[in-house]
Amino acid sequence: MHEGLQKIIVKHKSIRRSYIGYAFYNADCGGVMATEKKAGFKVLICIDGSRDSLRGMHYGARLGSGIDAEITIFHVRSDDGPGKSEVPEDSLNAITGNWGMFIAELRYLEEARQALISHEWVGENWSEDVVRTFDGDPLNNFQISYRSTSGRKINLKLKSGRNVAAEILDEALCGGYGLVILGASRVRRTYGRIFVSSEVQKVVVHAPCSVLVARNLEEGHGHLVCLDGSERAYEVMLKDFMLASHCECPVSLLSVAPKPEDEDTHKTIVTEGLRRLRDAGFESLDSAVVVGNPVEKIVGYGRKYSIIVVAADDQVGLRRFFMGGTSFNIVLNAENSVMVVR
């Protein structure tokens, strides 16, 4: 069962070393590294070197530190990744020195490591564990974990795979994460419409947990929670208020009436949302009801916020992917970040 275990020598100098870690390949859980499970909220931050993914990492790290969440910063290495010659020499030397080996994609995790240290999300007194797993590919699984004396944990993890979305979904499922954050910078415009990458679409559709698609994410502009009168939307509202309170993010409410004659009904929906917030000890920054197409109105009204928050669509799997729903279409059309809550 433990065949293929290998020791990894820790070479970091700025972080105190504690011990050398081990892991084994867990074929029963989608081919991901078997890591210890513990109670508490877990955030999976997927990075690819893009600006949006790095902004998502900053937001996730700030959010996670506020709720003492376990954070994993995750990169999937594809076969067509950058070569050694494409990496600047100073970055190459830093990667080799800090990680004990060279893989070009490790530069993304090295950038993340440096950001964590510079923002003091990882401290000098944190211990370090290094784990490498072999399952036929010597570069398939590599992880460095940092632990604080208070029990907080941040992981930097590299995995190889041709299907990026499948690797992210496997990690999200097997790791028991409550939130996945990934950048949506790989987009193109056709006839004025923004097309999100297929990897992002697949993760949004199939993820077992909430997903934040980071696009032009600028902190400090608050969250916009969308209500439609369903119990699920009210549950999402309370979840987001609890989450946002830890990063001191103001939250506003919005309900969209499809027709003018529906406006009074949606004002009642917002009033009920405000009542439930007061009962839970929360307060909304503001609230509004607008009339029109829900997707168009939410996308337009939501531009001034850091994140648009919506409940996941009722459809599942391929039906949701091909037919679409309000939440899925907001992800496709929004110009800023969208969090789909499950």
Least confident of 51-60, 116-125, 178-187, 318-327: 318-327
Nearest CA-CA partner of 295 in 339, 268, 258: 258
Domains of the chain: 25-214 (3.40.50.620), 223-341 (3.40.50.620)
pLDDT tens digits for range 81-122: 544 434 444 444 444 455 555 566 777 887 888 887 777 777
pLDDT in the model for residue 240: 93
Give the pTM: 0.79
Q: What number is the average pLDDT over the span 159-171? A: 89
Yes or no: say if 154 and 116 are a contact pair by the CB < 8 Å rule: yes
Phi, psi of 55 (to 5 degrees): -65, -40
Tokens describing residue 263: 């406006």
Instruction: Please give the helix or strand (H or E) that residue 130 lies within, else none.
Output: strand 127-133
Instruction: State the Cα angle at 209 between 282 and 111, rounded to 5°.
Output: 95
Token pair listed for 207: 């993820």
Q: Please give the Cα distance from 97 to 121 (Å, whole number).
A: 21
3-state SS string for 14-63:
CCCCCCCCCCCEEHHHCCEECCCCCCCCEEEEECCCCHHHHHHHHHHHHH
- Separation CA 294–CA 262 (nearest Å): 12
| Mean pLDDT calculated for residue range 62-66 | 68
C-alpha closest to that of 326 among 253, 258, 264, 234: 258
